[in-house]
Chains A and B, each alone.
Chain A
Amino acid sequence: MTFSLFDLLFNPDRFFKNALGDTERLKIPAIIILAGAILAAGYGYLAGSLTASMMDSAMGGLGGITIVVVILSAFAGTFIFWIIWAGLFYLISKLFKGDGSLNRCLEVVGYGYLPQLFGAAVTLIAAFVYLPKVVVPHLTSSALQDPAVITAATKALMQDPAMLAYTQIAAVVSVVFLLWSANIWIFGLKQARRLSMRDAAICVGAPVIVYIVYVVYAMAGA
């Protein structure tokens, strides 16, 4: 079993032929996901700070709690998404009579997450550039009693020009690097679930395309 970063990114077929052993090894995929989670937590800190400053004038301690919650959510969310993607691929590949364990799917998805680390890094840099420029609405204590006001404040925050620019950049970056990951996952799933190339492409492509269409739609609706 050999591990070539270059092969993983640019020749995943060869990578997975060499990397996948007889038993599933989740250590390296988990490290990749952990790195992604740390980057996501960094972004979570920046986004959480905006939300915190929105509510800080209403309740002094609420801002700190908000930041902690957002960081933990972003960190845990990366691991949850890892499991969701692996579970989806596992279930869909069952339709094509896929053969292989869920852990093998987790291993493949973990490896395939590597391009999204680059995407997360680019997103984090964009967050450093754009988020400080966002004009944050401030909720007063009386405003916290009114859901309509909170909605209006959140909308105002999301529609801030800097925030809009950042979300568009983040969406494009995530789409591009997700497609790169999907490319890797197809070859990985083919090996992991002993599928044909066509079936593996469908198993991975279908949920990814749905997800990307949703992201593009959300961008249009934002």
Chain B
Amino acid sequence: MKTLYPAVIATVLLLAAIGGVSAYTTADSLAAAGNVYVSGVTYDPGAFFTGDKGTVSISVTNGNRNQSVVIDHATFGDEDIRLTSTTYDTPSNIGPLQTRDYTFSIAADVPDGHYYPRLSLSYRDAGSLYYPAAVWVDSTPLVLAVQDIPDSFTAGKKSAIALQIANPRKAPVKNVFLNISGTDADILPASTYIGPLAAGESRLVNFTVTPNTETALNVTLRYDNGDNHHSAGLQIPVRFTPDKKDAAPVMSNLEVKNTAGAFEVTGDITNAGLSTANAVTVTSLSPAMPTDPYRSYVIGALKPDDFGSFDVTFNAPNQTEVPLMVSYKDSDGNLFTSTQNVTLPRFAAQDRQAGSGSSLLPQAIGLLALLAFVGGWVVYLKRRKE
């Protein structure tokens, strides 16, 4: 019996020692649990797309000034917002006026709407704490809108396009990246990194396109909502149509001179368009062969309604018509060309061959006159002799 006492006393002392951390619901512990509250909830991302994964970080604060609380178990979620990480199963202590964060990974595999998944905390010495933390599921994508585009596109001409990128969502997105591509077109810049875009914010992106053929520009906007990748797209058709404001050099007052072994064409070029035509140049095309002194003639810049004279020389053996090419550049240096056929004077030799029948007439008249003269005198002399 004497040997049993020490064991009993040790057991009591051990139980007394353990009693500080063991679940003994008392009035004090219940009062202490009442002063524990959720001081903050942070979702990342701030708003979920359907199917997005993310995290929620919940701050729990112990409002007691001189008493700790022990949290045995913490979990988060409900039947809509699914918990994808593990729960907090190890008891943890929150000291007086201390805050502890509980972070959970979640998945939002639900349609758009407002959801209220719950934080569930189990106290060791009291009941539990339940806290519904509101979250938005919103699948509205970022908006891509064309802000400025030319009335028409022209092959080889550089055109400027302005795009607006807007975030109509309730939360910011990050890593916004714009990429533009198109078949047989030069695009500058083809990629633009925009970075984060706050909720309700918009950004203007300018780029230029030089299409060589009719095509469609594929505009792709990539961005991250939290760690989830998303994208938005836009297609801009590029069709070649006459630009109403383009320069329009028109050739007129043409005069063709048949020079020795060469032709010389003089004329005027008037800019009948609404833009300035720069570096206006005139030259002859095949089958004509440009010759000195005016293989090509540079008029220079022609403002709308201005005109300039030109003079080109070329060889064109056995040709009745040759094309003249007018080239000019717009303010961006894009080269434009137009051609106009010029009828050459007919060849004298051809005319002569064509009219060779009629060319005998004057010779016949001359010979007849001569014969009449000779005959007349012969007759006159004979009669005079008789």
Contact = CB atoms under 8 A, between A and B. Distances in A.
Interface of A: 54, 57, 135-140, 142-143, 149-150, 152-153, 156, 159-161, 163-164, 168-169, 171-172, 175-176, 179, 182-183, 186, 197-198, 201, 205, 209, 212-213, 215-216, 219-220
B17 interface: no
B384 to A, nearest CB: 6
B374 A219 contact: no
Interface of B: 257-262, 264, 292-293, 313, 345-346, 348-349, 351-352, 355, 359, 361-363, 365-367, 369-370, 373-374, 377, 381, 384-385
A188 to B, nearest CB: 15
Main secondary structure, interface of B, reads helix
A168 B360 CA distance: 10
A198 B366 contact: no
Given A179-B370, A209-B370, A172 B260 contact: no
B352 A152 contact: no
A135 B263 CA distance: 11
17 contacts: A135-B258, A137-B257, A139-B259, A140-B259, A143-B261, A159-B351, A163-B348, A168-B361, A169-B362, A172-B362, A172-B366, A179-B369, A179-B373, A197-B384, A198-B385, A205-B373, A220-B363
Given A153-B261, A205-B374, A209-B374, A159 B362 contact: no
Given A172-B366, A175-B366, A197-B384, A164 B260 contact: no
Contacts of B349: 159
B271 to A, nearest CB: 28
B261 A161 contact: no
Residue from the set B257, B292, B351, B369 with the largest chain A CB neighbour count within 10 Å: B369
A222 B315 CA distance: 25
Given A168-B362, A220-B363, A160 B381 contact: no
Contacts of A160: 348
A139 B291 CA distance: 13
Contact of A135 (B345, B363, B366, B367): B345
B260 A161 contact: no
B381 A198 contact: yes
Nearest to A176: B369
B366 A219 contact: yes
Nearest to B293: A140
